[in-house]
Chains A and B, each alone.
Chain A
Amino acid sequence: AQKITQTQPGMFVQEKEAVTLDCTYDTSDQSYGLFWYKQPSSGEMIFLIYQGSYDEQNATEGRYSLNFQKARKSANLVISASQLGDSAMYFCAMREGGSGGYNKLIFGAGTRLAVHP
């Protein structure tokens, strides 16, 4: 079974509008961390935001926020006021707590976001 599922291979959004990128995860651990990374066309992986499984508040970092719904096992990334520079591939990832799972990031397949002027 997929540990991290990103169901949207591609998304379009108009500049200045908000967009939500979906991510669902599967784990039986109580302790885990969820991460979002951005990969522009230049290829580097840029860390955007982190949410811990015990965090009660949704994480926010500037224009990025994470809509964390623990019971539904979803960790959607919300980008507010989209900019042309937000066009990139976005990856959701998880670090699990048990059985050494914290030793790796498990990635989803990614969502390619295109921001239109």
Chain B
Amino acid sequence: EAQVTQNPRYLITVTGKKLTVTCSQNMNHEYMSWYRQDPGLGLRQIYYSMNVEVTDKGDVPEGYKVSRKEKRNFPLILESPSPNQTSLYFCASSPRTGVNQPQHFGDGTRLSIL
């Protein structure tokens, strides 16, 4: 089954404790992206990647890191999480970049930073 898989689905942690949210897609998509969803704000892009070893900042990159060493994986790293990073996070992918490319989303990761 074609899918985008995120882990963990839920995480409660404390300020400053490094964490990684994994994202993997099995569709051979070139493009991958991370979004955060906050009430009343819709989804906002954190980072994206157009292909292996090609990443760039989105609208809200502060406090996050990413890497794209393999085509299928695009982990999101919070080196020193803070409470304002409490949010619902989505990984998404599409075959390529382009205006006609719908992005396929993972099921989301709900992070709570205490």
Chain A interfacial positions (CB closer than 8 Å to B): 4, 31-33, 35, 37, 42-47, 50, 52-53, 91, 93, 95-97, 102-105, 107-110
**Residues of chain A lying within 8 A (CB to CB) of residue B92:** 45, 105
- Among the stretches B39-47, B63-71, B76-84, the one at the interface with A is B39-47
- Find out whether the CB atom of B88 lies under 8 angstroms from the CB atom of A43: yes
Which of A43, A91, A102 is in CB contact (< 8 Å) with B98? A102
CA distance in complex: A103, B92 (Å): 12
**Residues of chain B lying within 8 A (CB to CB) of residue A53:** 99
- Find out whether the CB atom of B99 lies under 8 angstroms from the CB atom of A103: no
CA distance in complex: A37, B103 (Å): 10
Q: Which of B71-114 contact A (CB under 8 A)?
A: 88, 90, 92, 97-108, 110
Which of B40, B45, B50, B100 is in CB contact (< 8 Å) with A105? B45
Chain B 29-42 against A: per-residue CB contact (8 Å), 1 yes, 0 no?
00101010000111
Chain B interfacial positions (CB closer than 8 Å to A): 31, 33, 35, 40-45, 48, 50, 56, 58-59, 88, 90, 92, 97-108, 110
CA distance in complex: A45, B93 (Å): 12
Q: Which 4 A-B pairs have the closest CB atoms?
A: A107-B42, A45-B105, A33-B99, A104-B45
Given contacts A91-B42, A104-B45, contact A47 B102 (CB under 8 A): yes
CB distance from B84 to the nearest CB of A (A): 19
**Residues of chain A lying within 8 A (CB to CB) of residue B45:** 104-105
Given contacts A43-B107, A45-B108, contact A109 B99 (CB under 8 A): no
CB distance from A6 to the nearest CB of B (A): 8
Q: Which of A33, A35, A45, A97 has the most CB of B within 10 A?
A: A45
